[in-house]
Amino acid sequence: MPVTNPRIKVRNDREIVAGEYVLYWMQQSQRAEHNPALDIAIQEANRLHLPVIVGFGLTDAYPEANLRHYRFMLEGLVDVKDRLIKMGIQLVVRMGSPDRVALELGQQAALMVCDVGYTRYQRQWRWRVAKQAPCLVVQVEGDVVVPVAVASAKAEYAARTFRPRVKKHIHDFLRLSRPVKPQQPSLGMEIHGLDLNDIDTVLSKLDLDRSVEPVTGLFKGGTSEANRRLKNFLGQHLDHYDANRNQPQTDDISHMSPYLHFGQISPVRLALAVRDAKSGQASDRDGYLEELIVRRELAVNFVYYEKEYDRYTCLPAWAQKTLAEHAGDPREYKYSQDVLEAAQTHDPYWNAAMREMKHTGFMHNYMRMYWGKKILEWSGSPEQAFATTLSINNKYFLDGRDPNSYAGVAWVFGKHDRAWFERPIFGKVRYMAASGLERKCDIKAYVEKVDGRVRGLKS
């Protein structure tokens, strides 16, 4: 299989073999449209005169994932199944470690195609599959605009160093592949898998942390819902994006992060929709694309090249040094993780942000920064603060355990930032204060918005 597309990488030295189907092992790119890995699988299946099977491994052992995350993901997989049926393709979901499920289904495959994940667990799964598969395995990178290794060959220091590197490649990759129709249907093939028609039954079979409730009243998983939200954003909110993106009392944001996290919408499709939108000004479109491509893919760069992306040691040396120098500074307030999760601090603005996260699975990005900075200020040590921030982040956010999450938490402690004026506790790490919120936005209106939303979800 000759490879000239930079999105495609051959993962082992095996050959295409005689098989019953081409397997697309879906894990990260959980969608049936604008999915380069699925497109390649269909192209190769048509060339080999074989059907395509899409396989998915549903593990309940993914670290820090809970009922909230699984409900959203399964709603998305139902959407995938329905869309694939219209294409004549069977989705096979099995319980088990994703690599094991992929290898099981790969025993009858002529060729295996997989998508790309960047966390250590996702990369370990793909390494095992490539090593043990009986056939050729190729991976297709479809959840960034610019493939991570093309954008940069190293961990970038900050957005200012990453921006020119990624921007010089955007034109080459900001395009959608033409959808391909499978010539051989696979719907009639008898391959056992879970019945997704009853999500509650599937969830009942999983050994999950059920302490965090789903947020179906506000967020529903799936490409159809992502497309609906995108249409609403373009029509109602894009023309206010640049002015209001740091105004948490408004809703002039896209709410795309959960859908991007689960691969339920293509970042290329999203970028093109914003770039070509007739609504908004150039500053609105440019501002959104900066967040979607430069900032989001800087986070991917961080997780891809930094092995300890979820540990305090990932922070730059200057940040660790200055925080260590101020670790013994007096703290006016100290809060345990339980008190933080209960949103029972002295700070009404922070409490509102915590309630938004806890009850909706989402938080306005401007408040995410303030939220994390205050945990650093209110913890007994910077190391404890880092662990607490990441733990709460991954527990409640729908897009927790994402490269953006790891980079965002690390940013609170100085990653991808510069040294500022020295002050107690923070040292030279950037500080945020309640007075800054009061000066820069209508923070009281934000508190009222959150209170109303939480009351609505509880009623």
The DSSP line for 102-141 is HHHHHTTEEEEEE----SHHHHHHHHHHHHH-SSEEEEE-
pLDDT of residue 459: 66
The confidence score (pLDDT) of residue 458 equals 74
| Residue pLDDT, tens place only, 303-331 | 999 999 999 999 999 999 999 999 999 99
Phi, psi (rounded to 5 degrees) for 256? -85, -15
pLDDT, tens digit, for every residue of 266-290?
999 999 999 999 999 999 999 999 9
Backbone angles phi, psi at 32, to 5 degrees: -110, 0
Q: What is the mean pLDDT of the chain?
A: 97
The whole-model pTM stands at 0.97
The pLDDT of residue 413 is 98
What's the rounded Cα separation, in Å, for the pair 4 and 87?
27
pLDDT at 165 over 90: yes
Residue 23 scores a pLDDT above 70: yes
Q: What is the pLDDT of residues 201-257, one digit of tens each?
A: 999 999 999 999 999 878 999 999 999 999 999 999 999 999 999 999 999 999 999
pLDDT at site 28: 98
- Which pLDDT band holds residue 1 (cuts at 50, 70, 90)? low
131 pLDDT above the threshold of 90: yes
Q: For residue 177, what pLDDT is reported?
A: 84
Q: What was the pLDDT predicted at 444?
A: 98
Structural domains of the chain sorted by starting position, each given as residue range(s) with its CATH number in brackets = 1-142 (3.40.50.620), 144-177+223-305 (1.25.40.80), 312-458 (1.10.579.10)
Partnered with residue 54 across adjacent β-strands are 24, 91
User: If DSSP codes are grouped into helix, strand and coil, which group holds residue 66?
Assistant: strand
pLDDT in tens, 39-92: 999 999 999 999 999 999 999 999 999 999 999 999 999 999 999 999 999 999
pLDDT of residue 37: 98
Q: In what order do the strands lie in the sheet with 52-58?
A: 8-10, 136-140, 109-114, 21-25, 52-58, 90-95
Residue 197 predicted with pLDDT over 80: yes
Spatial separation of the C-alpha atoms in residues 57 and 93, rounded to whole Å = 6
